[in-house]
Structure 1
Amino acid sequence: MPTTPLERAVRGWLDHLRVERGMSPHTLRAYERDARRYLTYLDRAGVREPADVTEAHVTGFLAWLREGDEEHPPLAASSAARAVVAVRGWHRFLALEGDVTADVAGAVQPPTPPRRLPKAIPLDQVERLLSAASVGDTPASLRDRALLEVLYGIGARVSEAVGLDVDDVDLGERSVRVLGKGDKERVLPLGSYAAEAVTAYLVRGRPALAAAGKGTPALFLNQRGGRLSRQSAWTVIQHAADRADLAGHVSPHTLRHSFATHLLDGGADVRVVQELLGHASVTTTQIYTMVSVHQLREVFAAAHPRAR
């Protein structure tokens, strides 16, 4: 149980995010880790009450994150930015609730992480990966192929894919109902390859896996008949990547990045891709256009006589 005024204030904020904002458990855990790190810093600074925190404490916390100390290694800009965003959210909440007189973190800007191209793999490598997921005709093999086809076919996050129930898939309409971040629902088209893989799994794979369990509506099941976990989904992809002899790190997000990149390369409008991915802002989606520009430059440099 929270014992100090600062800990109680953090718990109230986290409860607000969970109950009123509907944030996912994964996001809440990340915010709680960042808040705990902030409380450690404030404790060392001799701060005991939320009202005693100043803007200098917030900027000092940011510097501490980037510099580190004997017990805490320095954080990358992206990790420090996430922590500062959490701290800003907490202080804003305290001010809105009237627990403090001012938002002392409002003017503190998080560091800007370097823009990096999302990792995507070419279509031929995607096809190798999908083929490698099907080893024989076992229930697990049918499940693995269906899982990878869904991840790439609709660009789902791994948490969205393993969170699917059987009733979320409409094979007649070839669509999938996905529950994304913030419990926002979106209905996505299911391509023929993914639909065929899911059908094969539902007919010849899932019943055998379900027989080992106590009954669950989950689409993707583990060997005990329960819902497949995010960690198990990662393992499925890693094993398929090893069998496909794909160099480098291949993750569920690799398939999501590839889904978006291949759509944009094929001429899809960025706002359509935004809707498919479930991004709240088109700015997030636009980073995928950097991949296409990079590819265009490569083609230009190799083919145009005046490019060099």
Structure 2
Amino acid sequence: MDTVAGDLDSRVRAHLEHLAVERGLSINTLSAYDRDLARYRVFLDGLGRADLNGVTRADVGAFLASLGGAASSVARTMSAVRGLHRFALAEGWVGVDVTDEVPPPRVPLRLPKALPLAEVEALLAAAEATPPTKSGAPMALRDRALLEFLYGTGARVSEAVDLDVDDVDRQDRTVILDGKGGKQRLVPVGSYACRALEEYLSGLRPELVRKARKGNGGALFLNARGGRLTRQGAWTVLGAVAERAGMAGKVSPHTLRHSFATHLLDGGADIRTVQELLGHSSATTTQIYTRVTVERLREVYATSHPRALTGDLPVG
């Protein structure tokens, strides 16, 4: 052991390597955990802890109390710390998990924001009005195809931009999506999204391919230069379309995913089916959408039923 920081660094590196190789966490998640655990290492170094064996429950509680910022950020940091100590216990580096009895911070429930169907349709219509690029490429076909696809499949934007043309079975109207942790799922593609994809694939993509200076790996969605559309590029597309629709700042790619799930449940789909379509490993994650639907039901009931109660219930 050279230094306190060095010893802790080696433990953290081993833990992050385990998360990357065995758990298949994304680069973004691993980077966030690395930043969180860096703060934890600095805190422990300030306490003079030589290694994880010297850390106490009081130390973890003090670290939790020292954290500022949003509750969700604090919760993620504590999740990273718990994961490190549980891994240390499993590896035999420590004899007890000192985070076991430290209560987690309370995170207020945030319901996902779904757009009403009318606003989704307005957004998709605005995509048809996408102005051509400086080179004259009519990108409206791609923009409409991208947004129809995101709303029609519930795909994450990262899943959409990673797609190749061959991933979409245009005859069977299905697509293979690579989700978190490398888990694949087969999702139906609705007729509106299929039509938009066909128009893009036949009417614009060949032109974009000719503009490419190098291969694009058969990517489905291309940028104006013929390269694979990036996640940031997809965000830019949606932001521009939302602004034209008068919805600037109100929409993100995840908003379309939330709308996909909420509209399915509103239409009578069961939660297990929605879970499969979204690629959630646990139904618990999907259940938050049922809360959105219940809130919508309450709203409709309160404004539509002639005997809906408004105000306090009578006593006695």
Query: Would the TM-score normalized by the shorter structure come out above 0.5?
Result: yes
Residue of structure 2 in register with 1:71 after alignment: none
Within-5 A mapping of 1:1-308: 4-65=6-67, 74-134=68-128, 135=130, 138-211=137-210, 212-215=212-215, 216-246=217-247, 248-307=249-308, 308=310
Whole-angstrom distance in 2 between the partners of 1:103 and 1:139 = 58
- Report if the CA contact (8 A) 1:139-1:204 is conserved: no
Which one-letter code corresponds to 1:245 in the other structure? G
Larger radius of gyration: 2
- Report if the CA contact (8 A) 1:139-1:206 is conserved: no
Instruction: Give the C-alpha shift of residue 40 in structure 1.
Output: 1.9
Unaligned runs of 5+ residues in structure 1 are 66-73
Structure 1 segments of 4+ aligned residues over 6 angstroms from their partners: none
Which one-letter code corresponds to 1:160 in the other structure? E
Instruction: Give the C-alpha shift of residue 164 in structure 1.
Output: 1.0
Aligned length: 299
- Report if the CA contact (8 A) 1:143-1:205 is conserved: yes
More divergent stretch after superposition (209-218 vs 8-17):
209-218
Whole-angstrom distance in 1 between the partners of 2:243 and 2:153 = 23
Which one-letter code corresponds to 2:115 in the other structure? I
- Report if the CA contact (8 A) 1:186-1:278 is conserved: yes
- Report if the CA contact (8 A) 1:14-1:28 is conserved: yes
Which one-letter code corresponds to 1:47 in the other structure? R
Q: Secondary structure at the match of 2:204?
A: helix
Which one-letter code corresponds to 1:166 in the other structure? V
Instruction: Give the C-alpha shift of residue 115 in structure 1.
Output: 1.3
Whole-angstrom distance in 2 between the partners of 1:213 and 1:264 = 45
Which one-letter code corresponds to 1:45 in the other structure? L
Which one-letter code corresponds to 2:122 in the other structure? R
Whole-angstrom distance in 1 between the partners of 2:41 and 2:213 = 43
Whole-angstrom distance in 1 between the partners of 2:189 and 2:74 = 38
Whole-angstrom distance in 2 between the partners of 1:305 and 1:224 = 58
What CA deviation, in whole Å up to 9, does each residue of 1:232-260 have, x standing for no partner? 11111110000011254210010000001
More divergent stretch after superposition (22-31 vs 255-264):
22-31
- Report if the CA contact (8 A) 1:139-1:209 is conserved: no
Whole-angstrom distance in 2 between the partners of 1:206 and 1:51 = 58
Instruction: Give the C-alpha shift of residue 269 in structure 1.
Output: 0.3
What CA deviation, in whole Å up to 9, does each residue of 1:41-69 have, x standing for no partner? 1122222312221221111111111xxxx
- Report if the CA contact (8 A) 1:4-1:48 is conserved: no
Whole-angstrom distance in 1 between the partners of 2:36 and 2:197 = 39
Instruction: Give the C-alpha shift of residue 25 in structure 1.
Output: 0.9
Q: TM-score, normalised by structure 1?
A: 0.93
Whole-angstrom distance in 2 between the partners of 1:46 and 1:190 = 57
Whole-angstrom distance in 1 between the partners of 2:48 and 2:273 = 51
What CA deviation, in whole Å up to 9, does each residue of 1:259-297 have, x standing for no partner? 011000001001110110111111111111111111111
Whole-angstrom distance in 1 between the partners of 2:249 and 2:299 = 21
Whole-angstrom distance in 2 between the partners of 1:34 and 1:150 = 35
- Report if the CA contact (8 A) 1:132-1:244 is conserved: yes
Which one-letter code corresponds to 1:10 in the other structure? V
Instruction: Give the C-alpha shift of residue 107 in structure 1.
Output: 2.4
Whole-angstrom distance in 2 between the partners of 1:264 and 1:213 = 45
What CA deviation, in whole Å up to 9, does each residue of 1:168-223 have, x standing for no partner? 11000000100000000000000001011111111122222222231122211122
- Report if the CA contact (8 A) 1:139-1:208 is conserved: no
